[in-house]
Structure 1
Amino acid sequence: MSDEIVTSRVLRGAQLGKLVAGQAVRGAGVTLSAVRASEEERAARTERALADAAEDIVTVLGSMKGLAMKAGQLLSMFDPLAVFGRTTIPPEQRERFQRKLAELYDRAPQVSFERMRTVIESDYGRPLAEIFAEFEAEPIGAASIGQVYRARLADGRTVAVKVQYPGIDVAVRADVKNLALLMRMTRVLAPVFDDRVLYRELSTHLAAETDYRIEAENHRTIAEMYRGHPFIRIPEVISELCTPHVLVTEFAAGTPFSGIAALPAATRDRVGEIVMRFYAGSMLRFRRFTSDPHPGNIVLAPDGAVVFLDFGLFKEMDAAAVEFEMDCVRAAAEYRAGDLRALLVGYGVLDDDAPATPEECLRMFHEISGWLLTDADIRIPEDAGATALFTWIDPRRAYFDRWRDQYAPAEHALARRVEYGTLALLGTLRASANWHRIAREWIYGESPRTELGRLEQQWRTGEHT
């Protein structure tokens, strides 16, 4: 297979159209063949169809890169049921499907080193050997915008070098123009997507990822926010080596997320709390946060710190928007249904004459965010992220019809991505904690109840100003 990335809007649209049509035909075929088949035959056919679908998605979207591949990454979170006309799919089939799609995070089809080397040398204007003492030709990660390599500087430091795919900026611009087709693809593969919110998110934020100078600035901002933190670590940016197409940072050695998920429960619980503190805490405490929580961006360092990577998607929320988020959490946690609906109306999320009653608003919040609103120890199930998202946007649920014509503020789209993404990570870890008590540190300004919370408080009051 050629590693040339197609950049033409027409050709990229054609590739997506062919993929969409193929999955629709495959799903229809499984449904029709199931009419007279036994349950065992239906399960076998569905499993084969899921395997073929996942292989097609990874191959096509992985080779396309850009926003098309990012859409495939998002799909790895969601349930393939609707594609294949089934009301149930055995957990092992669902897991294999999602595990295959998860390869798009760090094991997608690679672009050759020769072509990537050209990008590096073009940006620096000199040979690779004059910049790095050593440079490993085999990438350690292949993502939607670029590939990551391990290298060594002349002073002995080991660094991670993220190199943008040649032509990816053109491909991303083409994808932005083709977003309508991307939305149709997600509707076929996961009909529960609210394409309006997804469209705003992709078109507003993802195109900025193609300038690594912006990501380097985001990365420095987050690194400064967490400098000296007792258990959250952000690799330092090597600013003098960053260019529009090359990003160089300290190398983060440690256990990848897949390995963390196999560790004992106590370690998984600890990492889960750190993951929540980083993603949710950054938003609620600092109003600045990275918006791409996924397994490829998390490493457990040998000393127990959790290292967070990749800051291309970055958001700074308005103070009023964050306060609205916390007001809603407080009202829902305290079962003040009338106040919750009034907040939604006052903020413009609901029309005053919208059919959603105060009780329905409260029930929906607890279905979506019950793990955060309930004052109890909760172990997060593996499907928690997808289940929470489905509650909000599944056309088969009553909430969809009663809320679909209401306004979803674009200011909060990435906040929801962080919420569902964080929940999905906690589910993968099967982490347990009293998440509500942790959140009360931010929502109510209460003293921490956990050891990690007390360590963080000491850092904030003693070292971080």
Structure 2
Amino acid sequence: MAGRVPKSRLARGSRLGRLAAGQAVRGVGTRLSMIGRTEAARQVLAERSTLQAAQQLVAVLGGMKGAAMKLGQMLSVLDLDMVPESHRELFRVKLGELRDRAPAVPFSEMRTVIESDIGPLARVFVDFDETPIAAASIGQVYRAKLRDGRMVAVKVQYPGVADAIAADMRNLEFFSRLWKSVLPSAADAEVLEEIARNLDTELDYLREARTQHSIAARYRGHPFITVPDSIGEYCAHRVLVTELVEGESFDRLRGLPDADRARIGELVYRFYVNSLFFDNEFCGDPHPGNILLAADGRVAFVDFGLYQYMDPAHVELERTCLRAAGEYRAEDLYESWVGRGIVDPATDVSPRECLGYVWSAAGWHLLDEEITITPALATGALVLAVDPRTAEFHGMRRQHLPPEHVFSRRADLFTFAALGQLEVTGNWHRIAREWLYREPPSTEVGRETARWKGALR
């Protein structure tokens, strides 16, 4: 069991500093200990070091909750250079515990939050399982039964987590040090600022309840996708009650046959990517812990604390720029970026560099052929997007991406990373043409979805 969530800036900064130092020292020590060893001995040492590194990250970040734990969840879907290639899967599996099996806060503390927000448990629930079914960065999730017999999921905010997030926002230098210790090529403060800034919106569960109710209504009756509805009468600022989804976790989905994973991958793409261009809104937290395979075969999506609405003009700019890149119109792309203030014409950034950068970071939407997304491929795109320091794209380091585009790019890249965990194959451009060019769907899933939408009108 985890202790109380540390709330002060000093306490949280000290833990992050020690964690970063420990990761760096462990890496040096492991390399030194391998000198003169046999290959078999090196394998044992590498595996031991990998597990120790992952266990330390899970224990410290999981116990801290807030932005610290969110950082660990992000790392769990990446292909990290700090880990030997032969042991990266072992590392990711262990770090994946931060998505739904992080160290839990005792129920006695969580019960205090519930009852202070919605009243005595017995007045609302006929049964409440005190063992959490998931432990995330902001709160824990429990299984319960309402007095009317409905099975529900109850998400409860950690005591003190609001103070912890406020401390994290003042501790970005410690996050940068930790970020650099595990992913040296992507240690920029802008990424960390975006994490901390948007985590603050996750604290308002009433806002999330309204968002989830709206999304659940939109997908009600969908042939392939389901979103559990919130139950507003029992929701409060720190307690969120929703319908319970019984299903298979993302880790189980990874073992499905190729065709099943391809179908799920298409649905993940449609839910997280298509929604921006069709509805001007999107979920900013597309990680594996929020994706389930429901008992009825539909893919279920949960957790809408990081949900954003985007100005249609900004969405149209994204579409216009991606179309220009896909059609190799480098000058048009460059002019669009200059007009939005993303690129300063006084710098040496060239149209060709802009074009190459978009293709490297977002080419999976643009290439008209089947692509198998792997963790390494997804990590490469994410690192390039947040830290384009390669010789080829050094000028892009000075781009000024507006906040709304930073958030949408993060959602796009972490959708890519989630699909990389599935190692799924698909022609993503064929799906993208629906929002790039407003063409009719070319897949059976797309056509069936279009028929369903047509029947609603």
TM-score by length of 1: 0.93
Following the alignment from structure 2 to structure 1, what is the Cα–Cα distance between the partners of residues 21 and 359? 37
Q: Does 2:57 correspond to 1:64?
A: no
Matches within 5 A, 1:7-406: 7-33=7-33, 43-81=43-81, 83=82, 89-91=84-86, 93-125=87-119, 127-193=120-186, 195-394=188-387, 397-399=390-392, 401-406=394-399
Following the alignment from structure 2 to structure 1, what is the Cα–Cα distance between the partners of residues 450 and 276? 17
Quickly say closer, same or farther: Cα 1:101–1:446, change in 2 above 3 A: same
- The answer on whether the counterparts of 1:228 and 1:463 sit within 8 Å (CA) in structure 2 is no
Shift of 1:269: 0.8
Following the alignment from structure 1 to structure 2, what is the Cα–Cα distance between the partners of residues 448 and 122? 49
CA deviation vs aligned residue, 1:259-285 (integer Å, no higher than 9, x gap): 111111111111111000000011111
CA deviation vs aligned residue, 1:377-409 (integer Å, no higher than 9, x gap): 222223222121123345662255322122122
- The answer on whether the counterparts of 1:159 and 1:251 sit within 8 Å (CA) in structure 2 is yes
Shift of 1:171: 1.3
Shift of 1:213: 1.1
Shift of 1:73: 1.0
Letter of the 2:49 counterpart:
A
Letter of the 2:304 counterpart:
F
Following the alignment from structure 1 to structure 2, what is the Cα–Cα distance between the partners of residues 417 and 364? 15
Following the alignment from structure 1 to structure 2, what is the Cα–Cα distance between the partners of residues 166 and 422? 30
- The answer on whether the counterparts of 1:392 and 1:400 sit within 8 Å (CA) in structure 2 is no
Which ranges in structure 2 are unaligned for 5 or more consecutive residues?
Answer: none
- The answer on whether the counterparts of 1:200 and 1:410 sit within 8 Å (CA) in structure 2 is no
Letter of the 2:75 counterpart:
L
Quickly say closer, same or farther: Cα 1:47–1:402, change in 2 above 3 A: farther
Which ranges in structure 1 are unaligned for 5 or more consecutive residues?
Answer: none
Shift of 1:240: 0.2
CA deviation vs aligned residue, 1:4-38 (integer Å, no higher than 9, x gap): 11112211111111111111222233345566667
Shift of 1:420: 1.3
CA deviation vs aligned residue, 1:147-175 (integer Å, no higher than 9, x gap): 11111112211100111111111111111
Aligned residues, how many?
Answer: 457
Per mean C-alpha deviation after superposition, the further-off stretch among 308-317 and 385-394 is 385-394
Following the alignment from structure 2 to structure 1, what is the Cα–Cα distance between the partners of residues 402 and 31? 37
Letter of the 1:53 counterpart:
A
* Aligned position for 2:4: 4
Over aligned residue pairs, what C-alpha RMSD do you find? 2.0
- The answer on whether the counterparts of 1:232 and 1:306 sit within 8 Å (CA) in structure 2 is yes
- The answer on whether the counterparts of 1:197 and 1:408 sit within 8 Å (CA) in structure 2 is no
- The answer on whether the counterparts of 2:78 and 2:417 sit within 8 Å (CA) in structure 1 is no
Instruction: Tell me which of 438, 443, 452 is aligned to 2:436.
Output: 443
Shift of 1:219: 1.2
